[in-house]
Chains A and B, each alone.
Chain A
Amino acid sequence: MRQAEEDEYREFVVARLDRWRRTAYLLCRDWHTADDLVSITLARLYRTWTRVRRTENLDAYVRAMLTNAFLDEGRRPWRREEATNTPPDRPDASPYPTIVDRAALADLLTALPRRQRAIVVLRFYCDMSVAEVAQLLGVSEGTVKSQAARGLEILRAAAPRVVQGETV
């Protein structure tokens, strides 16, 4: 990679690093794993930068790499999630979402299956369209809609004060 391209890569990464880390954190709810995912993504991006830097929607391309890194990680035996007998805490009946509610909501995200969690994060956190998410994950738009709807239902049921008025 030429120096000018590397400078461009660095500038692109620095400008988006915080957002990617937060996205990765929402996907896995662990900063160390999140940073592993981002590091994997950045390394892959570096390797392909010369070829992809002029890609039309580079942000979506990187989000796809990050999401795939997350889904790939989940397929590794040591990353498989374990069932627990202890359900997550439910929020109280206060009418406004508090910071505790929000943290609980993010915790609830981890209760969703990995692919469904990815769909919810991409759709509602990264503001990607149904078509974009479907293309990124290689599934149909109907699958994205149904998975997003089910994910929202679960979140609403668990934290009704927090998740209001959001539509698929």
Chain B
Amino acid sequence: MSLRDILDSSIVEEPPPFPDLDELIARERRRQRRIRWAAAVTGAAGVVGAVLGVTLVAGSLGRAPAAGFPEAPPPALESSVSVTADETPQERYARLSELLRTRVAALLPGATVTSRNPDHTELFGDEPPMGFPGYDYTAAVVEVSAPQGSMDLSILIVRPLTPPLPQPTAGVAGRLFGGCAGEWPTATPPVSGQDTCEDRPGPGGTAVSIAERHSEVGPSRLVTVAFPDGGVVTVITDPAATLLSPDELIEIVADPGFVAGRAAPPHEPAMVDPTDPFHPRDLPAEPEIGTVYPFDLYTHCGVDLVSFAGRTWRAEPPGIAALPGPYVAGTMQLLDHATARFVIDQRHVQTDREVILFYWTPDAEAPTCR
């Protein structure tokens, strides 16, 4: 008997069942997806951007639009689908899935599009926030199969949570998209020496960037289309895949239907009692997302940085004109764990502004002039 056989037979203890291989594969799939999408969302900011996301988003607003935007917008694209105002998330996923299939079929007759994400019942589904609160994320991981070959596409749709927002660059997609410029949340500038990026105007007032990125999960091609209303669609593929060229990918996703629909519920006008400065209303210690609370916003020190619900928040956009003080009455609602919407009760104060968005800013402190 060889030592190998002896060692083999020495394992007298019965092994427990091995952890689920399917679960391990699914976990790795999710991990790879997140890494690739992080590259699409955080751009040059990378990990730092993910950590400082709130600050970066707020700070990006005042900057000039990316070079890829045309100065005079051409005729806007028309969506090939109609969107109802009360569309549920599931209806939206079904609509997006149908839209994607239609757009692919127009280019590749007979092609099939199947989901590779077992977590989604449709081709599309939601994704948790990816470092930049204030946006919603919808994603699909699909395989396109045609007689001439197949190709995997990872599609990420990013929309501002509460359009319309104050847009310092109104009329252009200046909100999320940075093209190849480095400081915008969805910018895709070259990071390593192997990376490339190209900006160009896209169809119908969109702006486009085509980038190649090299990360720990290998090379990726990122084709990003930014729409004038602020929504951004990024398609991530293997650069070696040839079934659909970057131009064809742009043709597929350059449909406003991909970013259409309301990303957050509309706000109701605030109707609350006037402020009692001796008993200002605050949020509960653990406010519920979506619940509208009567709230008195402390404006005495300005509202660029304020504290409520035990945390520090930064107003967007910064530098809001002075509001009467020391308090302004209204309603506060958490849109997600790091985004809050304050609606001013305009019956009690004279201001043109009705809505202020606040982003949780863990690294900052509100001024202590109180």
Q: Chain B, 9-33, contact with A by CB distance < 8 Å: what is the 0/1 string?
A: 1111101101101001101110010
Q: Does B4 contact A (CB under 8 A)?
A: yes
A166 in contact with B2 given A46-B28, A125-B8 (CB within 8 Å): yes
Q: Does B212 contact A (CB under 8 A)?
A: no
Q: Does B6 contact A (CB under 8 A)?
A: yes
A26–B25 contact, CB under 8 A?
no
Q: Does A157 contact B (CB under 8 A)?
A: no
A97 in contact with B1 given A31-B15, A35-B18 (CB within 8 Å): yes
| A49 → B minimal CB distance (Å) | 9
A127–B21 contact, CB under 8 A?
no
Q: Does A118 contact B (CB under 8 A)?
A: no
A105–B6 contact, CB under 8 A?
yes
Q: Chain A, 87-129, contact with B by CB distance < 8 Å: what is the 0/1 string?
A: 0000000000101001101100100000000000100110100
Q: Does A14 contact B (CB under 8 A)?
A: yes
Q: Does B216 contact A (CB under 8 A)?
A: yes
Assembled-state Cα–Cα distance A109/B116 (Å) = 44
A26 in contact with B21 given A31-B16, A97-B6, A166-B2 (CB within 8 Å): no
> Inside 8 A of B16's CB, which chain A residues have their CB?
31-32, 35
> Inside 8 A of B12's CB, which chain A residues have their CB?
99, 102-103
> Inside 8 A of B9's CB, which chain A residues have their CB?
99, 102
Assembled-state Cα–Cα distance A17/B116 (Å) = 25
Assembled-state Cα–Cα distance A87/B331 (Å) = 72
> Inside 8 A of B7's CB, which chain A residues have their CB?
26, 102, 105-106, 109, 121, 124-125
Assembled-state Cα–Cα distance A31/B32 (Å) = 28
> Inside 8 A of B13's CB, which chain A residues have their CB?
31
> Of all chain A residues, which has the CB nearest B13?
A31
Assembled-state Cα–Cα distance A35/B23 (Å) = 14
Q: Does B126 contact A (CB under 8 A)?
A: no
A47–B28 contact, CB under 8 A?
yes
> Of all chain B residues, which has the CB nearest A106?
B10
Q: Does A21 contact B (CB under 8 A)?
A: yes
| B88 → A minimal CB distance (Å) | 30
> Inside 8 A of A79's CB, which chain B residues have their CB?
none
Chain B interface mostly helix, strand, loop or mixed?
Answer: mixed
Q: Does A22 contact B (CB under 8 A)?
A: yes
Q: Does B255 contact A (CB under 8 A)?
A: no
A25 in contact with B15 given A2-B150, A3-B143, A162-B6 (CB within 8 Å): yes
Q: Does A51 contact B (CB under 8 A)?
A: yes
> Inside 8 A of B152's CB, which chain A residues have their CB?
1-3
Q: Does A144 contact B (CB under 8 A)?
A: no
Interface centre among B1, B3, B10, B116 (most CB of A within 10 A): B10
Task: Kindly identify which residue among B4, B18, B28 contacts A17, using a CB–CB cutoff of 8 Å.
Answer: B18
> Inside 8 A of A43's CB, which chain B residues have their CB?
24, 27-28
B11–A22 contact, CB under 8 A?
yes
| B126 → A minimal CB distance (Å) | 23
A17 in contact with B1 given A3-B143, A25-B11 (CB within 8 Å): no
| B194 → A minimal CB distance (Å) | 15
Assembled-state Cα–Cα distance A88/B11 (Å) = 17
B1–A10 contact, CB under 8 A?
no
Which residues of A (123-168) have their CB < 8 Å from a CB of B? 124-125, 127, 162-163, 166
**What are 13 A-B interface contacts by the 8 Å CB criterion?**
A1-B32, A3-B116, A13-B21, A21-B18, A25-B11, A26-B11, A31-B16, A32-B16, A35-B16, A42-B24, A47-B217, A102-B9, A106-B7
Given contacts A47-B216, A102-B9, 14 further A-B contacts (CB under 8 A): A3-B150, A10-B25, A13-B21, A25-B11, A25-B15, A39-B24, A46-B25, A47-B217, A97-B1, A102-B6, A102-B12, A124-B3, A124-B4, A163-B3
Residues of A within 8 A of B (CB): 1-3, 6, 9-10, 13-14, 17, 21-22, 25-26, 31-32, 34-35, 38-39, 42-43, 46-47, 50-51, 97, 99, 102-103, 105-106, 109, 121, 124-125, 127, 162-163, 166
Residues of B within 8 A of A (CB): 1-4, 6-13, 15-16, 18-19, 21, 24-25, 27-29, 32, 116, 143, 150, 152, 216-218, 238
